[in-house]
């Protein structure tokens, strides 16, 4: 039987098992003011700060560089805490070799084919950084920018407002985009992300978060025994460059059917052409709910061994599930262990890849006078 998370957290705190990086114990409700510390300096001398938050039994560390989630700690069914987000313990590795660990992604999450799109009759050439494609905003996307950070407390919630202004032409994108992203830890320990953006010229935007999850704990090994459920009857197959073909294919009868929870490793090594091309799962699921006014539950991830679970709610129409196919043992996390293929996974809420070149996909166009708004909520269980 799965225990109530609040009961587990309260028990852990009572037993003195919830010592935190902030020097205290976790509580089921009532967060502390975020704590700011120097994490490092960039080559040009720019200071990068780490912000530590704690609320409702969840502990979060965020960097001003890339809005990166450097760690996220939650308890297991016995109240034992672990960091469930892959990353590094130093700024140099984030700058030199991070595969988007924990980062805020923009201006456009996922891929745009050949780094080109046409908007209102004008062609735009973007930064190309993934073969022939533009990936996650180009060579220097939002993940490689230093964000202005403003901490806040609101009632029983704590969080951070992150601000970045992307100038007209940055990475080839038109318009000056003013972006605000809010990370909130609620009194129940949920991690909520609210994205907002405005522009002074017509542009495209698709913001997301690129946390690499391993609910057994960072550096603990494969996620293939994690159980995943996605509320989607279709997905978007890709070509050899991992660009959607435009088809909305049915998942029924394929390895892509996660309508009922199943272990990720059950079908990952089948000979399905899409799995062969991507070396695993690296696809966008078309959520059955579509675009909604409010976040709705779309996916559940669970680690049977620890009992930890993650539920994701969003108002976005798509979910990119990436099974860590390109982790190759060359990166070392805070645990001192290397990350190999399938040692972490991503669940990125978003609009579809290459939407600017696919008129039948939901539009990612943002125009002056409009405000881009989207929300994703992560709810943790044990």
pLDDT in tens, 267-287: 999 999 999 999 999 999 999
pLDDT in tens, 157-207: 999 999 999 999 999 999 999 999 999 999 999 999 999 999 999 999 999
pLDDT interval class at 9 (50, 70, 90): low
pLDDT in tens, 236-261: 999 999 999 999 999 999 999 999 99
What does the pLDDT read at residue 303? 98
Rounded average pLDDT over 120-140: 98
What does the pLDDT read at residue 374? 98
Can you tell me the distance from the alpha carbon of 70 to that of 66, in angstroms, rounded to the nearest whole number?
Answer: 10
Question: Is residue 12 predicted with pLDDT exceeding 90?
Answer: no
What does the pLDDT read at residue 177? 98
Question: Catalytic residues, which ones?
Answer: 210, 348
pLDDT in tens, 290-311: 999 999 999 999 999 999 999 9
Tokens of 238: 């890709």
What does the pLDDT read at residue 108? 98
What does the pLDDT read at residue 4? 55
Burial of residue 285, with CB atoms counted within 10 A of its CB: 0-12 exposed, 13-18 middle, 19 or more buried: buried
What does the pLDDT read at residue 8? 53
What does the pLDDT read at residue 32? 77
pLDDT in tens, 312-333: 999 999 999 999 999 999 999 9
pLDDT interval class at 224 (50, 70, 90): very high
What does the pLDDT read at residue 101? 98
Question: Is residue 29 predicted with pLDDT exceeding 80?
Answer: no
Question: Is residue 235 predicted with pLDDT exceeding 90?
Answer: yes
Can you tell me the distance from the alpha carbon of 151 to that of 178, in angstroms, rounded to the nearest whole number?
Answer: 19
- Please provide the average confidence, as pLDDT, over all residues in the chain: 93
pLDDT interval class at 20 (50, 70, 90): very low
Question: Is residue 13 predicted with pLDDT exceeding 80?
Answer: no
């Amino acid at each position: 039987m799965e225990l109530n998370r609040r009961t587990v957290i309260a028990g852990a705190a009572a037993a003195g098992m919830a010592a935190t990086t902030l020097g205290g114990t976790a509580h089921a409700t009532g967060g502390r003011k975020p704590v700011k510390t120097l994490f490092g300096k960039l080559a040009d001398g720019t200071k990068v700060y780490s912000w530590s938050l704690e609320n409702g039994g969840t502990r979060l560390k965020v960097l001003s560089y890339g809005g990166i989630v450097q760690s996220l700690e939650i308890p297991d069914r016995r109240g034992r805490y672990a960091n469930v987000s892959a990353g590094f313990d130093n700024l140099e590795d984030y700058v030199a070799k991070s595969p988007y660990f924990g980062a805020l992604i923009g201006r456009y999450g996922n891929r745009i084919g050949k780094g080109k799109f046409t908007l209102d009759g004008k062609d735009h050439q973007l930064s190309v950084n993934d073969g022939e494609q533009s990936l996650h905003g180009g060579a220097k996307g939002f993940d490689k920018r230093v964000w202005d950070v403003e901490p806040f407390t609101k009632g029983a919630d704590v969080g951070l407002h992150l601000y970045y202004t992307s100038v007209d032409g940055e990475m080839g994108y038109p318009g000056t985009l003013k972006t605000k992203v809010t990370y909130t830890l609620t009194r129940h320990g949920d991690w909520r992300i609210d994205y907002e953006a405005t522009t002074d010229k017509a542009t495209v935007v698709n913001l997301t978060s690129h946390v690499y999850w391993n609910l057994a704990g960072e550096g603990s090994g494969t996620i293939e025994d994690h159980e995943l459920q996605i509320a989607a009857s279709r997905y978007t197959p890709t070509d050899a460059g991992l660009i959607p073909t435009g088809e909305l294919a049915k998942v029924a009868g394929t390895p892509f059917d996660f309508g009922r929870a199943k272990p990720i490793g059950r079908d990952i090594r089948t000979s399905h052409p899409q799995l062969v091309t991507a070396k695993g799962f690296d696809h966008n699921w078309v959520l059955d709910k579509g675009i909604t006014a409010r976040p709705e539950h779309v996916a559940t991830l669970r680690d049977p061994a620890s009992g930890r679970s993650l539920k994701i709610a969003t108002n976005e129409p798509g979910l990119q599930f990436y099974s860590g196919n390109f982790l190759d043992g060359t990166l070392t996390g805070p645990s001192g262990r290397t990350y190999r293929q399938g040692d972490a996974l991503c669940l990125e809420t978003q609009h579809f890849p290459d939407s600017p070149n696919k008129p039948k996909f939901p539009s990612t166009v943002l125009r002056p006078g409009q405000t881009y708004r989207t929300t994703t909520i992560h709810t943790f269980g044990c």
